[in-house]
Chains A and B, each alone.
Chain A
Amino acid sequence: MSLDGFPPFISAQLHYLINHFPDKIKVEQVLSGGKTYTGGLDRFTLLIPYCLDYIKWDIIYNAEFPLAPPDIIFGTEDEDFHPLHMTGRVGEGDLKFRNILSDWNYKDPTRLLALIQELRDRYMAYQKKRVGEVDDDRLTFEISTICSREGIEMQISSGAEKPEEVKFAVPLMDMNINKMVHGCPWRHPQKIYLQVIYPVGKKYASTPSAPRLKLMSTTELRALFTIEDVKLPSWLDGMCMAEYLPHLEESLQKQVLEAVSLIDIRRHFIEALAPLLGRPLEADPKGNISCFLWILRFPGALPYFNSVS
């Protein structure tokens, strides 16, 4: 995306952030904070992926004061998120975060990425604390059983009209899918997540209702494996995540391995055609691995032969 109109020190940092952030970050609503536009654009909204959704943070630079670090405005629901003075122990991460701001070097393009990553970690800790304070026995139990899993993200969402809910993004299967696919074109590691949304229960509800479940995957994985086709095992009454997840992971693992082996079979098939149809033969997976369209070019009557598998 074009980042014209920014003063050089902002565009360098923003470019670096977009290119090096582990996930896809979006930039919206780019504006200028000056009275006239001569200073350039210096404020924008970042959509940062968190918990299978986006959090919107407004980043405020000042084109007139390049030496100052940017200021950040968090979302409307996060009024209590104060990373600069979070109560509790001041850990190493907190010191690192404060150092980024106090030693701000506007010429260093890596600074904005470091700042956003540290803030996102603080945000995760803040959400974890908020979820931990929820007054719901079932949730407390669930959290205690699964918080040992690495990479879990959780978020409380509450609004005026809708009831309070706690959302979990549980990464499934500790497999490195990228490695399993031959010649994988993906830049980021692909993962599958289970989104679990629990309503925060009122004390007088008799039976706790089942949470809403949804499987989601990183976008590029859809080429290999359509996540929407996977049928989730049903959630029985009185089940908890610690029971449910292993079943789900087992069946999902089988399906993923099947999809990967199918690709291997296709590849072998195409390669095996080469000696039969004569050289030169090019098999071009055309970007999409399972797109089912392999364009084969070989000498002969037809300019190309599309094999749909």
Chain B
Amino acid sequence: MGDLVLQKIAISGPTLASMIQRLSSSPADLDGLLFGHVTCVAPSALSDDSVQSTPDSQLVATISSFLSFPSLLSFYDSLGRVDSSRLTLTNLNQKPLIGWFSFRRKTPLRPSMRESSVTRSLPSNPQLYLPIQNASSESLFAPSIFLLFTTPLQDQFIQTCQYRAFQYQSSNLCFNPLPIDIVNIGPAFRGHYGAFSPTSALPFLNCELRSSSAINECRNEENLIGMKRIAKDQSELDMCAEGMQIGRLNQLIGPEAVNYTAGLEDLYKKMLCKIESLARLVEASSAKVVEQENHNRKLRYKVARSAGLE
């Protein structure tokens, strides 16, 4: 499989801000994984040349989310070899892996010995390769993006975060720096959202338009199966909305669709409720995580100090 060269990396403003906030609040160096998708963007060929050479289609990788690990040597060892038993599809919750990032304060902005090794061994598991959206060929993209964050060497009164993205090309064993496009909300950026794809989709619920006569005839026999299916569909809907009865979805299709707007607004309201309660859960669990991390740090300090006493 040949190397797929990216033209640039796109990241939305909120994602980048969230990453930098996470990095700045970390007490030590940090690293983690990057998730997203790779799209094939056909360049606008506005030339009137008679020579029609097919322009190279451009690959753009979009970073949509990240996962940070609180300690070093999390998914790799001290030689920079990636532990493929930790990076499986199940462990990653089926999220599409496109690369990894590293943050280290007060260091130069180029890959280090271990980071080169990790980036090189990241594409070792072909199961993690991604299909490219809008692509003509069936080639898969191997996770090869490395995003490096550092802070300047001199103490600054202003918090500064420097970052650079690289794509590792296994064909010539080099790190290729890539430009980063930050996609923000606003009229100027409307065009950039052309390749936007939501990462949280509504569950696919089986929707059959049954005629009323059929329902009356088979009602008794299908009752148990029907109830089971309703229960299953309700649990799928509960994953993204709170307090929405599955029967109410009737309002969005069929003869009751006259109240379409009201039904949709109701659905969105219940989805927001769900997000709110999730946020509360996250807050509570974050407090527990911080407590555990503090405890771990105290233990590590003890270990570090004890080296001198021996």
Q: Are A85 and B305 in contact (CB under 8 A)?
A: no
Q: Is the CB of A65 within 8 A of B117?
A: no
**From residue 1 to 51 of chain A, which have CB atoms closer than 8 A to chain B?**
7-9, 11-12, 29, 31-36, 39, 43
Contact of A113 with B by CB under 8 A: no
- Contact in complex: B115, A71 (CB < 8 Å): yes
Instruction: List the A residue with the shortest CB-CB distance to B121.
Output: A85
Write the nearest CB–CB distance from B8 to chain A, whole angstroms.
21
Chain B nearest CB: distance from A46 CB in Å? 13
The answer, yes or no, to whether A79 is at the interface (CB within 8 Å) is: yes
Do A72 and B112 have beta carbons less than 8 Å apart?
yes
Contact indicator A73/B112 (Cβ below 8 Å): yes
- Please determine whether B79 and A7 come into contact, CB atoms closer than 8 angstroms: no
Q: Are A71 and B79 in contact (CB under 8 A)?
A: no
Task: Classify chain B's interface size.
Answer: 35 or more
Question: How far, in angstroms, from A31 to B105 measured CA to CA in the complex?
Answer: 9
Which residue of chain A is the closest to B304 with respect to CB atoms? A66
Residues from 276 to 310 in B contacting A, C-beta threshold 8 Å = 297, 300-301, 303-305, 307-310
Contact residues of A: prevailing secondary structure: loop
Once A35-B26, A36-B27, A84-B116 are accepted as A-B contacts, the answer to whether A12 and B307 lie under 8 Å apart by CB is yes
User: Are A68 and B28 in contact (CB-based, < 8 A)?
Assistant: no
Query: Once bound together, how far apart are the Cα atoms of A66 and B310, in whole Å?
Result: 15
Contact of A66 (CB < 8 Å), options: B24, B115, B300: B300
Question: A80 in the interface, Cβ–Cβ < 8 Å?
Answer: yes
Q: Is the CB of B307 within 8 A of A79?
A: no
- Cβ contact within 8 Å between A107 and B110: no
Complex Cα spacing A73 to B110, Å: 8
- Interface residue? B160 (CB, 8 A): no
B110 A65 Cβ-Cβ under 8 A? no
Structural contact, A82 and B113, CB atoms closer than 8 A: yes
**Per-residue contact bits, chain B 93-121, to A (CB 8 Å; 1 contact, 0 not):** 00000000000111110111111110010
Contacts of B71 in A (CB 8 A): 65
Which residues of B have CB within 8 Å of A58? 107-108, 112
Is B153 an interface residue when CB atoms closer than 8 A count as contact? yes
Bound-state Cα–Cα, A68 to B78, Å: 7
**Cα of A11 to Cα of B307 in the assembled complex, Å:** 10
Q: How far is the CA of A106 from the CA of B78 in the complex (A)?
A: 13
* In contact, A43 and B107 (Cβ under 8 angstroms): yes
Docked-complex contact A66 and B112, CB < 8 angstroms:
no
- Given contacts A31-B153, A76-B110, A80-B174, are A8 and B308 in contact (CB under 8 A)? yes
Is A98 among interface residues, defined by CB-CB distance under 8 A? yes
With known contacts A7-B304, A8-B305, A8-B308, A62–B27 Cβ distance under 8 A: no
* Bound: A104/B72 CA distance, A: 14
State whether A35 and B28 are in contact (beta carbons under 8 Å apart), knowing that A60-B112, A71-B112 are contacts in the complex.
Answer: yes
Give the distance in Å from the alpha carbon of A107 to the alpha carbon of B115 in the complex: 24
For residue A148, CB closer than 8 A to chain B, the reply is no
Rounded to whole Å, the gap between the CB of A80 and the closest CB of chain B is 7
A74 at the B interface (CB under 8 A): yes
| Chain B residues, Cβ within 8 Å of A34 | 27-28, 105
The answer to whether A79 and B174 touch across the interface, beta carbons within 8 angstroms, is yes
Complexed CA–CA distance, A64 and B73 (Å): 13
B120 adjacent to A63 (CB under 8 Å): no
Asked if B29 is at the interface (CB within 8 A of a chain A CB), the reply is yes
**A79 & B175 in contact (Cβ 8 Å cutoff):** yes
Residues of A contacting B153 in the complex (Cβ-Cβ under 8 angstroms): 29, 31
A68 to B303, CA, bound (A): 12
Question: CA separation between A107 and B303, bound complex, in Å?
Answer: 10
Output the least CB separation between B157 and chain A (Å): 15
A64 CB contact (under 8 Å) in B78, B114, B115, B297 = B297
Contact string against B for A residues 96-107, beta-carbon threshold 8 Å, 1 for contact and 0 otherwise: 001001101011
CB-nearest residue of chain A relative to B308?
A8
A69 at the interface (CB under 8 A from B): yes
A67 x B303 contact (CB < 8 A): yes
CA distance A83 to B305 in the complex (A): 31
Verify A63–B78 contact, CB threshold 8 A: no
Whether the pair A62, B28 counts as a contact (CB closer than 8 A) is: yes
Chain A residues in 8 Å Cβ range of B301: 39
The contact sample of 24 A-B pairs, CB cut-off 8 A, is A7-B308, A9-B307, A12-B308, A33-B105, A34-B27, A35-B24, A35-B27, A39-B27, A58-B107, A60-B29, A60-B104, A62-B28, A62-B29, A63-B28, A64-B29, A68-B72, A73-B110, A73-B111, A73-B112, A76-B108, A83-B113, A84-B79, A85-B120, A102-B79
Q: Please list the 9 inter-chain residue pairs (A to B) with the smallest Cβ-Cβ separation, ordered nearest first.
A: A8-B308, A9-B307, A64-B28, A66-B304, A84-B117, A31-B106, A73-B112, A71-B114, A33-B105
Measured CB to CB, the residues of A under 8 A from B are 7-9, 11-12, 29, 31-36, 39, 43, 58, 60, 62-69, 71-74, 76, 79-80, 82-85, 87, 98, 101-102, 104, 106-107
